[in-house]
Amino acid sequence: MASTVYDIARAASVSTTTVLRALWDKDDIKPETKERILKLAAEMNYRPNLVARSLTLGSSHFVGMLVTPSVTTTYASSIGLVVRTVRKAGYGTLCYTTDGRPDSERMCLEQLASARVAGAIVIPEADTKNVPIYQEMADSGMKLVVAHSCIDGLNVPQVVGDNYQVTYLSARYLLSLGHTNIVYLAIPQDCLLGRERARGFRDALQEAGIPVSPASIVTCGNSEEAGRKALTALLQRKKAPTAIIARHDSVALGVMRAAFAAGLSIPDDLSLIGNSDIPVADLLRVPLTSIRHPAEEVARTAITKLVSMLGGAKIELDITKLGVELIKRASCAPAKE
Amino acid sequence: MASTVYDIARAASVSTTTVLRALWDKDDIKPETKERILKLAAEMNYRPNLVARSLTLGSSHFVGMLVTPSVTTTYASSIGLVVRTVRKAGYGTLCYTTDGRPDSERMCLEQLASARVAGAIVIPEADTKNVPIYQEMADSGMKLVVAHSCIDGLNVPQVVGDNYQVTYLSARYLLSLGHTNIVYLAIPQDCLLGRERARGFRDALQEAGIPVSPASIVTCGNSEEAGRKALTALLQRKKAPTAIIARHDSVALGVMRAAFAAGLSIPDDLSLIGNSDIPVADLLRVPLTSIRHPAEEVARTAITKLVSMLGGAKIELDITKLGVELIKRASCAPAKE
DNA sequence: ATGAAAGCGCTAACAT
DNA sequence: ATGTTAGCGCTTTCAT
């Protein structure tokens, strides 16, 4: 099968050390010997066994990547980015996605630990219930960086868009259009990210002198289906909202579907703002106003941090927030009357 | 750091062999001993070192996955599916995406070989120029399965939607609407998949008695940008087409953009059919008629094949074609006059 | 029921 | 400039 350094050594009638010296292009080896060995290695189709190398070196040349299924599509480009960037740094990427089951996240992390990955980038659900597991892994020496999300109290570097601004900018814009009955389809507030979003929403309303009723923050799942159901429920209210801020574009798509199904016009009857600015946002039946995150910069920053951690650098265990931007499109209009 | 079987052996004052017997739940060990060891292992936070295990066993418990960047988004769900399915079979997934550079594909494959993956699922560009590399890898013993694409002459199992039907169904439908000036924005025909598509297109036209001019098959890149440019060029023709079949939805989106930019209406001035039926197709400004592939079934089939190959089974080296379906939406209308 | 020893392929410290 | 040797952590065969 695959040839080994030992095979080459035998074929060249030298020791394995000499073979290594040739392969690693050292200079304490006679040029002719080197050449002869290199030629032999090529002929014998030698490919270093990274498994053995990892064992010897004590750490694999892989970094792990853990992505939650509900965001897989959103961050597909991040996956590619991570894969390619870490490859430049000499690492392969071990990908895991959880299937959403409670301890699936734990199993994936244990796998990564077992595989002795050098480090890992994780894109968890904002309201993951597995914070202790992450912390445990980090404490046991795994280099961890959280991207596109942030987890309260987790003592590792985290890189994320500014979630306070997500709702603050959205709400401000809707207020400037004259809306007062705005509902925010929210991330649960039992996690930092959820609280940041809620705070941005509340602050904007309060600054405008609009009282924030609990009914204006409706916790919602992170899917089209959840958005659909949420709007359907909202339309039952005696005073249905005139504007919606959806926690994510996919939720906004669900809202759109439900609105159309109910015979409502967007933006005439309902203004709508999403979040994350999916690529087709401007080609939708009603082009969707959304918050654009610097997704690439987030990924890049996270990877940079990870790579320098791998290099042994001490990194600030803080949360890096990158600016977001409101992209105005046709899904919002001035409030009527 | 991480504890080893040896650490446990010492702590329990037994041999490593006995520790292994406990960990693997063998029965030639005294129950109390087993229990004691297991307790110790848990306390010491033992996690088997998969790197070492792989070296001993001669093969890693990973399967590779190689995805071309231009299809990363389309097949993001497939990535998740692969990751989760192979995990159930006891394997981790080593993800690589090429950065499109010519020998990037080769490097990724070499990495996979070096990592001694048990096998790999690849989603290549239809017109990849690296067929020999794939073949070489397969010949050197790597279990390979191609998914969502098929490569001419590559002697490994391949699983893909029926690409002949993609264009055949599309063209038939447009013909039934009365269109005769149809342009197919084509995959290059220097690959099997490209030829299948072209054949489906030609057959449909010929069956309808419409002559197929070379001008009706326009080779096109696989991106929005390529679609935009292609339509812009087509609009210069003295007899611009009344209907377009795009090789992929992303190309169709580009066509849409260009059409709108030129002040054309879809479907009044131009009928449009995409391919792959992206999730938002029905929420677009003009809901897009498209061909739906059984993406999940393709992935599942590919994985099943790979897993049974890993188990040592001999698999037919054929191309498995799964049925596709035309999803009619508002982007097509009867030809005028 | 338990242990000793060798080996997977590579690397690095230590000779010569 | 080249070789010897030991070891990474696990598994497995062969004792006892």
How far off is chain B from A213, nearest CA to CA, in Å? Answer: 32
| 8 Å CB contact of A67 and B51 | no
pLDDT tens per residue, range B157-216: 999 999 999 999 999 999 999 999 999 999 999 999 999 999 999 999 999 999 999 999
The residue lying closest to nucleotide C3, measuring its CA against C1', is B15
Using the structure block, give the residue that is written with the tokens 């097509």: B332
The pLDDT score that the predictor gives to residue A51 is 94
How far off is chain B from A205, nearest CA to CA, in Å? Answer: 31
pLDDT band at residue A336 using 50, 70 and 90 as cut-offs: confident
The pLDDT score that the predictor gives to residue B141 is 82
Under the phi-then-psi rule, with left for phi > 0, alpha for psi from -120 to 50, and beta for the rest, what region is A23? alpha
CA–C1' gap, B56 and C9, in angstroms: 10
As a whole-number percent, the residues of chain B with pLDDT over 90 amount to 67
pLDDT tens per residue, range B86-96: 888 888 899 88
Question: What is the C-alpha to C-alpha distance for residues A129 and B320, in angstroms, rounded to an integer?
Answer: 41
Query: Which two tokens mark B225?
Result: 């940008």
Residue A95 has pLDDT above 90, yes or no: no
CA–C1' gap, A237 and D3, in angstroms: 85
Per the structure, the residues numbered 15 to 44 in protein chain B that have their CB within 7 angstroms of any atom of strand C are 15-18, 21, 27-30, 33
CA–C1' gap, A62 and D3, in angstroms: 33
**Least confident interval from A165-179, A234-248, A269-283, B124-138:** B124-138
pLDDT band at residue B152 using 50, 70 and 90 as cut-offs: confident
Domain at B50-161+294-323: CATH code: 3.40.50.2300
DSSP 8-state class, residue A143: E
How far off is chain A from B166, nearest CA to CA, in Å? Answer: 23
The pLDDT score that the predictor gives to residue A73 is 64
Domain at A5-43: CATH code: 1.10.260.40
When pLDDT is averaged across residues A215-226 and rounded to a whole number, the result is 94
What average pLDDT is seen over chain A?
Answer: 91
Residue B337 has pLDDT above 70, yes or no: no
A256 neighbourhood in chain B, CB within 8 Å = 283
The pLDDT score that the predictor gives to residue B58 is 87
A94 neighbourhood in chain B, CB within 8 Å = 62, 92-95
Domain boundaries, chain A: 5-43, 50-161+294-323, 163-293
Cross-strand partners of A66: A96, A122
**Least confident interval from A303-312, B15-24, B281-290:** A303-312
When pLDDT is averaged across residues B102-126 and rounded to a whole number, the result is 88
Q: Evaluate whether B50-161+294-323 and B163-293 have a shared fold.
A: yes
Query: Which nt is closest to the CA of A56, judged by C1'?
Result: D8
* pTM for this model (two decimals): 0.86
CATH match of A163-293 with 3.40.50.720 = no
**Residue B167: CB partners within 8 Å, gap ≥ 6?**
B184, B197, B198, B199, B200, B201, B204, B245
Q: Is the peptide bond before A267 cis (omega within 30 degrees of 0)?
A: yes
Query: Which two tokens mark B266?
Result: 């879809």
pLDDT tens per residue, range B50-72: 999 999 998 888 999 998 876 66
Query: Which nt is closest to the CA of B4, judged by C1'?
Result: D9
B97 closest CB neighbour out of A83, A114, A253: A83
Phi, psi angles (nearest 5°) of residue B221 = -70, 175
pLDDT band at residue B5 using 50, 70 and 90 as cut-offs: very high
A and B: number of Cβ contacts within 8 A: 137
Residue A5 has pLDDT above 70, yes or no: yes
